[in-house]
A and B are shown apart, each in its own frame.
Chain A
Amino acid sequence: MKNRSLIIERVSRWMTPFIFLYGVYVVLYGHLSPGGGFPGGVILSSAFILILLAKGKQQALKNLPYGLAKKLDAIGALAFISVALLGFVFTGVFFANFLQQLWPGEPFHILNAGTIILNNIAIGLKVCASLFLVLLFLSILRISFGKKGQMQSMEDR
């Protein structure tokens, strides 16, 4: 991680906002066009992964701190489950689309698909935080092969 090139640093600085914006678009417009929470979340996390690979983990942790990523992961899962439980409360069916059944919206508008857009946002948050955490763990807590051939985890300096 020492020989970082200036070109990669500058280009990643210019690319990151656009990648992030595209991820937000894919998450929010998942019910209107191809996309959705899962690919949008992966695109969002790839913005942070680009920062992690290009500028190192200090800069990446400044953009998405470890505690915030953990919280986002949990918040995404909880939001997904609670939307499903709200469907159970309002209509008696787990995962029912109660918003669409109670207040149906117009097709081809962004605020029409009821709980689908909420679920997309929850899954997007969850996938983004999860993939970033997995890469962070793999790059901070590394496995290396010790003297006796057994695996040890090691700090990445």
Chain B
Amino acid sequence: MEALLILLLLFMIISAVVALYTEELLSAVIAVGAVGFGSSAVFLLLGAPDLAITQIVVEVAALVLLIRATISIGVKTTSAWRSGWQPKAVAAAAVIFLVFAFLSFRDMPEFSVPVMDRIADAPSIFYLEDGLSSTGSTNHVMGVLLDFRAYDTLGEATIIFTAVFGTLTLLRKRGKKAVNRNEYSGEKTSPKG
């Protein structure tokens, strides 16, 4: 199973590099989608079906959003990455990251050993043993997300709320400065209401 995981991770890394360095935006979006679906398969292999469902569903919606926001308005290619100092800076940052990752991964515990086998009073022991009796939820992930750690979910809901308001604020026409409004004169603004 670890060989399959390593293959999937290599596939994801290659697709991420392709997404950065391709010129066609459609290919870049498809490569980003490949990264997302690869990580969904990794979650499924590691025994996290909740995360796999969320990842695959959000990935599809994000792909549709990306295509809708870039390609269907006529932005088809990009060439901002090719020249100048940015690729060198990215390469230098990657090298620094890899060095520190190597240094820190030597101290990491062994793969696929859960944290409660190493730490005696980890909170996950309590979640697993008393989760069903104190939350009533058969799905322990949901019991943790919406009962033990509901503050995190509150933050997530706040983020979505803010995202909607940010999108509306950035893209609206009503309420912008009069300088901009003069350039397309007289057209009715606002979506519905």
Contacts and interface: CB of A to CB of B under 8 A. Distances in A.
Contacts of A149: none
B99 interface: no
Nearest to A136: B191
B191 A119 contact: no
Contact of B164 (A49, A66, A134, A141): A134
Interface residues of B: mostly helix, strand, loop or mixed? helix
Contact of B65 (A80, A95, A138, A152): A138
Interface residues of A: mostly helix, strand, loop or mixed? helix
B13 to A, nearest CB: 26
Size category, A interface: 35 or more
A140 interface: yes
A131 B61 contact: yes
Size category, B interface: 35 or more
B157 A144 contact: no
A26 interface: yes
Interface string B79-121: 0000000000000000000000000000000000000000000
A105 B154 CA distance: 25
A73 B136 contact: no
Given A36-B142, A61-B192, A146 B136 contact: no
Interface string A21-40: 00000100011111111110
A123 B158 CA distance: 11
Contacts of B53: 26, 34-35, 39
Interface of A: 26, 30-39, 42-43, 45-46, 49, 53, 61, 65-67, 73, 76-77, 80-81, 84, 95, 97, 100, 104-105, 107-108, 112-116, 119-120, 123, 126-127, 130-131, 133-146, 152-155
Interface of B: 49-50, 52-54, 57-58, 60-61, 64-65, 68-69, 73-75, 132, 134-139, 141-143, 145-147, 150-151, 153-154, 156-157, 160-161, 163-164, 167-168, 171-173, 180, 183-184, 187, 191-193
